[in-house]
Structure 1
Amino acid sequence: MQLVVFILVYPLLWLVSRLPFKLLYFISDGLYVLLYHVIGYRKKVVRDNLALVFPEKDEKERIQIEKKFYRHLCDMFLEMAKTLGITNQQMKKRYVFTNVEVIQKLEKDGKNVMIMLPHYASWEWVFSLNPLINSKAYAIYQPIQNKYFDKLVRDIRSKYGTTLIKTYESRKIIADAKKVSKLITVGIISDQSPMLNRARHWAEFMGVLVPIHVGAEEICKMTDMIPVYLKVEKKGRGFYQATFKTLAENPKEVEDYKISEAFMKEVEAAIHAAPEYYFWTHKRWKHRNKAPKEFQSS
């Protein structure tokens, strides 16, 4: 059944990848009507999330954010498919790194880098960084259940030479690279909600106490990688600007969990600046009432 679904869907994705951008966004407008007004995909989750983190906004304001988010969601889905057919020249024009010298300087200093980013604006096109750096690029990801689509996603994301690794493989691969003194840059999306039985730290995110992922910080401390936040701004449909910000120059000397908290604060700032570009369909705050007592009293 997985193969049948893939055979039916893949030709459509391939066709989308060959469309000019103007036509791509015309289709996106139609997809928005279907997804938001007809299907109402995860609309309750989005609405509940917005009401939770923006209690100061009235319903009209939150609905405006909601609609803008769904338009962006449709754009981003089609942009991911477009990656199959986008040219290098188009990518350089549409996804601009403002200060790649931050990563290049760390490479010259012999430092391995952990790039931490959220589900915000565009995380699919960050892979175009690879030709601009000298270190071996990896990206930590969660496999898709359908093995055929999983391979497709890996192929898309590895277009520029990045190697995708599963979460459970990451620590070994990073440790092995360090043993042979091979410089690496690892990308990880770190704003998801961890499984409750694996939550090791809780902190406020958008004013709500929730468990936060600390795996990236732990790897940085264990292997002396430099944690770098990637701030992505949407400048227009299909145009993004990405800026690097070092979160700690000596991660081993930073108090535990402060790097993770600093990352979440950066994500908060991005959301407050333009909330429509955050991935509101995730149940990010689902564990908000389950914090251990030691965190509730802090």
Structure 2
Amino acid sequence: MTDGLYLFIYHIWRFRRQLSLSNLKNSFPEKSAPQRELIARQAYCNACNMIAEVLKAAVMEESELRRRVRIVNPEAIETFTKAGQSVVLLASHHCNWEWLLLASCLELKISVDAVYKPLRVGAIDRFMLQTRSRFGGRPIPAQDFLVEVLKRRAGPRVFGLVADQTPLREEEKHWTQFLSQDTAFFVGADKIARLTRSPVFFVGMTRLRRGYYEARVQLLAQPPYSAQGTEIIERYARAAESHIVEYPADWLWMYRKWKYKKPLYA
């Protein structure tokens, strides 16, 4: 089924195909056009597989999820949570971030509060919210996230963000070089880490084969922090970039990451 979906989306509909190829050209100018085309095709195949996997997540048993997604070193996080300290997990649009949330709820044995952007279609938004909550996850709308973080500071928690999304033009942002381009990042991760005095981890997810993944966490920063700054999101950008360069076909190249250019004054 997913092979047919790939053929339709990439070859017939050509959904954001030029955008994806443009993103790849700007990110990997050293690669040849055939090399970038191959990455694009693989990325669309993987994205189509993920669509099927998201639907499967609504009914998948806990035992099957544990077989399909393995967190290699959860003890790195448990060291902090067992000591009563919250942690911040930063992922990217890499592999299957929806399954990563569900697996984190099972493996870490602690509430995972994940930020999300409500979808425009109400029925789909309700489906995703219900699916993300299946194993103890507590999704929080992006516009409420900082307020909810402050409310939940009492006990140890895991705050999860897919942090490679692009802020709106008028929002506060951090500019850095990312995949050979000036790129804007949200600064929310820095703020949350400082407010909660939490260590920050990057989660790198890799595809073992179709429908099977493993994830490894990497400590990016831990308190004490300075009162202000964006060094945490800068470290995240470097970790995410390195992971994407190593596994380019598993990132979401059809995503509009570079919606606007960096202003001259920034």
Q: TM-score when scaled to structure 2?
A: 0.95
Moved more, 206-215 or 246-255: 246-255
Alignment match, 1:123: 97
- 1:176 is aligned to 2:186: no
Deviations 1:202-242 (A, max 9, x none): 11111111211111111111221221111101111011111
Mapping 1:224-235, distance limit 5 Å: 224-235=197-208
- 1:156 is aligned to 2:131: yes
Give the aligned residue type for 1:41: F
2:52 to 72, 78, 87: 78
More helix by share: 1
1:51 to 25, 28, 47: 25
RMSD: 1.4
Percent of pairs identical after alignment?
25
Contact 1:220 1:251 survives alignment (8 Å): no
Alignment match, 2:115: 140
Deviations 1:148-188 (A, max 9, x none): 2111000111111101110121112111121xx22211111
Alignment match, 1:246: 219
- 1:187 is aligned to 2:160: yes
2:180 to 207, 224, 234: 207
Higher-Rg structure is 1
- Measured in 1, the distance between the counterparts of 2:163 and 2:192 equals 12
**Runs of 4+ that moved beyond 4 A:** none
Residue ranges of structure 1 left out of the alignment (5+ in a row): 1-26
- Measured in 2, the distance between the counterparts of 1:282 and 1:114 equals 24
Q: Helix, strand or coil: the match of 1:76?
A: helix
Report the alpha carbon displacement of residue 254 of structure 1 after superposing the two structures with TM: 8.5
Residue ranges of structure 2 left out of the alignment (5+ in a row): none
Moved more, 253-262 or 108-117: 253-262
1:109 to 66, 83, 88: 83
